[in-house]
Amino acid sequence: MILPGGVPSAHTDLFARDNLPPRESWPRFDYSALPILASYPNRINCAVELLDRMVASGHGSRPVLHMGETTWTYRQLLALTNRIARVLVEDLGLVPGNRVLLRAPNHPMLVACWLAVLRAGGICVTTMALLRARELAYTIEKAQVSHALCDASVLDALEEARAPTPVLKHVLTFSPLATRHPSATLDRAIAGKPESFTPVDTAADDMALIAFTSGTTGAAKATMHFHRDVMAITDCFPRSFRMAEPDDVFTGTPPLAFTFGLGGLTCFPMRFGASTRYLEEPSPEAMLEAIERYRITGLYTAPTAYRVMCDLAAKYDLRSLRKCVSAGETLPKATWEAFHERTGVRIADGLGSTEMLHIFVSAAPADMRAGLTGRAIPGYEARIVDDAGNTLPPGTPGLLAVRGPTGCRYLADPERQRTYVRDGWNYPGDMYEMNEDGYFRYVARADDMIISSGYNLSGPEIEAVLLDHPKVKECAVVASPDPERTNVAKAFIVLRDAAERNEATVKELQDFVKGEIAPYKYPRAIEFVEALPKTETGKLQRFRLRALELERAKARGR
């Protein structure tokens, strides 16, 4: 297939290419703002750029991934990814353009699999280990996933998900450090493979990954990103602000299935010869212990974790820490100031989205202003507009519009594409205002998403699960302000039998949700009501419930 510009695609499976939105509905992509973006060749394999190029440039013996007492060098990681790529192609028949689902907690083998899929010309569909069969089945069907590499400890839900669909034909399992676990089929398969593999010569505009994010309608949105896009995010935020250098060691909480984690804990460090330490349980306490023990220099996590770490920081030696990035939700001024007071580190707040792949509004730590998100980073431009797309003056709240070298392309979803992209600009759905210096201040979300502890929760998705329970007649899920998590998901529920209104039913419903979708999505608060607010035509009025929760929070002094 010939791509726009006359460049041949390396993909023979054209499903992803055929399901891109029409080109006229794409945002305007600008590669001229930074010289390095304009210098990309027509053919790029981002796995080669992140790994082979680093080995060739003298980083082969340097550490790249750590877990526990194990450290892999760039050269060791390259050899392993070559062996995995051989298994994919020689044993499983992977052809360029096939989608490969990756399922695991953050650990070195997940990174090796991600790189191997790209080297083999496949398209990565990375999923969180917490997802349940219902969510995995949707992902498999939506992306037409044909292959899967899965951590052996979280295989059960994937097996349940693949049962009703014939599209997923090949599944191999692995252990965190490829230690040839008895039940790990990929660990055994790579044992006899050579450590060499010729990477597929992908075009810069061949698909590299399909990333899923929750939407306001409850169905996950599949966003599509090219090899060029992966390189662009490494050459904008971290390069512009020197947020990754060879001696850095990073850790953090975001899963690699989230593009925030993929960038900050994999792509950014590798682009600059740095390394990442993965933690089995990345709690605030575990991160503080790792910073002290392993002299961690960089941290990626959400404001919720930074708030907890503020209270614990005095117990640890954090002098090595110097590069902290926050994203997932706006970073409160009080949290920024408290963390700076206790550690001396100025957190770089970042605004990004799965549709845009990574951060597009932030600032260098030295330029951060507490309570403000930052400015459009080099390579991007951003503005505040009204509903008609007209630019608003400084100090006026409105919709954030942004464009640059990355942007939204939804998989087979023209309606959402028209909503997110207008007149060449991306509309992430955030309300902001900009001051005279070009700094942006967060105002609110413009949709029904619930941002809790850095996670995006879809109220309608949770509602759909609750409505599957026999005791639930009607329900609505909205954000309820919370001092620790910013918001929590609160469910207003009309029961079929009012006599069941008790704490036992609350726990039963919460446990039911945990069993059907990722546990972090469960409603942390449930209120039983006689009826839900609706329009005369029967449409649910969630905004009235949100307003009620805001009034209650205000009355409580939150």
pLDDT at 215: 43
Chain-centroid distance of CA 415 in Å reads 22
pLDDT at 7: 93
**CB 148 within 8 Å of CB 171:** yes
- Scanning the structure block, which residue is given the tokens 């512009």? 240
Task: Say whether pTM exceeds 0.85.
Answer: yes
Q: In the predicted model, is pLDDT for residue 181 greater than 90?
A: no
Q: Is 219 helix (H, G, I), strand (E, B) or coil?
A: coil
Residue 13 DSSP label: -
Q: In the predicted model, is pLDDT for residue 558 greater than 80?
A: no
pLDDT band at 217 (very low <50, low <70, confident <90, very high): very low
For residues 208-212, give the mean pLDDT: 97
Joined together, the tokens standing for residue 320 give 């090595």
pLDDT band at 59 (very low <50, low <70, confident <90, very high): very high
Secondary structure E strands in 369-509: 375-376, 381-385, 398-403, 421-422, 425-426, 430-434, 440-445, 449-452, 455-458, 472-482, 486-495
- Among the CATH numbers 3.40.50.980, 3.30.1390.20, 3.30.450.20, 3.40.50.300, which is that of 1-20+34-234? 3.40.50.980
Task: Tell me the average pLDDT of the chain.
Answer: 94
Joined together, the tokens standing for residue 130 give 């917490």
Same fold, 1-20+34-234 and 264-447: yes
Query: Which of 119-133, 222-236, 321-335, 411-425 is least confident?
Result: 321-335
Which is more confident, 543 or 142? 142
Query: Which of 231-235, 427-431, 499-503 is least confident?
Result: 427-431
3-state secondary structure 77-126: HHHHHHHHHHHHHHHCCCCCCCEEEEECCCCHHHHHHHHHHHHCCCEEEE
Q: Does domain 449-555 have CATH number 2.60.120.10?
A: no
Q: In the predicted model, is pLDDT for residue 98 greater than 60?
A: yes
Neighbours of 130 (CB within 10 A): 17
Domain boundaries, the chain: 1-20+34-234, 264-447, 449-555
CA-to-CA dists, residue 386 to 391, 427, 504, angstroms: 7, 11, 47
Q: Is 2 helix (H, G, I), strand (E, B) or coil?
A: strand
For residue range 232-259, list pLDDT tens digits in order: 999 999 999 999 999 999 999 999 999 9
Chain length of the chain:
558
pLDDT at 447: 67
Look up the CATH superfamily of 264-447: ANL, N-terminal domain (3.40.50.12780)
Chain-centroid distance of CA 15 in Å reads 23
pLDDT at 459: 84
pLDDT at 86: 98
**Residue 124's closest CA among 29, 27, 256, 19?**
256
β partners of residue 300? 252, 325
